[in-house]
Amino acid sequence: MGNDSGIGVLDKAVGVLHAVAASACGLAELCDRTGLPRATAHRLAAGLEFHRLLARDGAGRWLLGPAVSELSARIDDPLLAAGAAVLPGLREVTGESVQLYRREGTTRVCIATLEPPAGLRDTVPVGARLPMTAGSGARVLLAYSDSATQQAVLGSAKFTERALAEVRRRGWAQSAAEREPGVASVSAPVRDRDGEVIAAVSVSGPIDRMGRRPGDRWATDLLAAAEALTRRL
């Protein structure tokens, strides 16, 4: 369940939130992810749903609820403010899902996302914690991370150090069916005013639309969005 604050019910509820943030799940899978008994997991999830921190999708699975986004919108975070200004334009240009990711240790966290209004899409909810072992966003964040983090991840990654060197050379990354079957993505680093990479901005969608080399189509627009984000920080 992660770090223990000494407040048992709070630690368990936070564990449920993190488990659901990884991807939507039903009760059985929630129990597997958290190690909680069915009755406890259901009671906590139902309580979080009451407070709108969790919600249900059409299949009855839990996913992060609207209160998570509402609370995050109140955070005085320059990157989130920049994303709110830049991501809508990137979504309009590409017609695909767009995301902002930050690295936390050996995982990446989606801190902002927008989806196209219709059609098939790649849904990554805010708060989702994804491994750094697959996907263009992972490639970007790992390419600019410290050597210890790179060594910790590369052994189980679907790409190599050579691929990370290519990311640093051209300034963006792409992947196809690497993180999820049928999904392609292209990502670029977002730098702060000192030039340090603090996030990755991504465009993702079905391979049938984006192709297996999505960078050929969207890298220029993506790099422009990354630069626009930096100017607002």
Q: Assess whether 85 and 195 both reside in one domain.
A: yes
Q: Assess whether 65 and 80 both reside in one domain.
A: no
The proportion of the chain whose per-residue pLDDT surpasses 90, expressed as a percent, equals 78
Which CATH number does the domain housing residue 105 bear?
3.30.450.40
B/e letters for 207-223, b = 16+ CB within 10 Å, e = fewer, are bebbbeebbebbbebbb
**Tens of pLDDT along 182-227?**
999 999 999 998 999 999 999 999 999 999 999 999 999 999 999 9
**Tens of pLDDT along 136-168?**
999 999 999 999 999 999 999 999 999 999 999
On average, the pLDDT of the chain sits at 92
Whether pLDDT at 39 is above 80: yes
**Tens of pLDDT along 66-118?**
888 778 767 778 998 899 999 999 999 999 999 999 999 999 999 999 988 87
Q: Assess whether 17 and 40 both reside in one domain.
A: yes
Residues 6 or more apart whose Cβ sits within 8 Å of residue 108 = 101, 102, 129, 130, 131, 132, 137, 138, 141, 200
Angle subtended by helix axes 27-34 and 8-22, to nearest 10: 120
Q: Assess whether 201 and 167 both reside in one domain.
A: yes
Whether pLDDT at 25 is above 90: yes
Whether pLDDT at 1 is above 70: no
Residues 18/12, Cβ–Cβ less than 8 Å = no
Q: Which domain holds residue 12?
A: 8-69
In a domain, 144, yes or no: yes
In a domain, 28, yes or no: yes
pLDDT at position 205 is: 93
Among the listed residues 27, 21, 31, the one whose alpha carbon sits nearest the alpha carbon of residue 54: 21
pLDDT at position 128 is: 87
In a domain, 2, yes or no: no
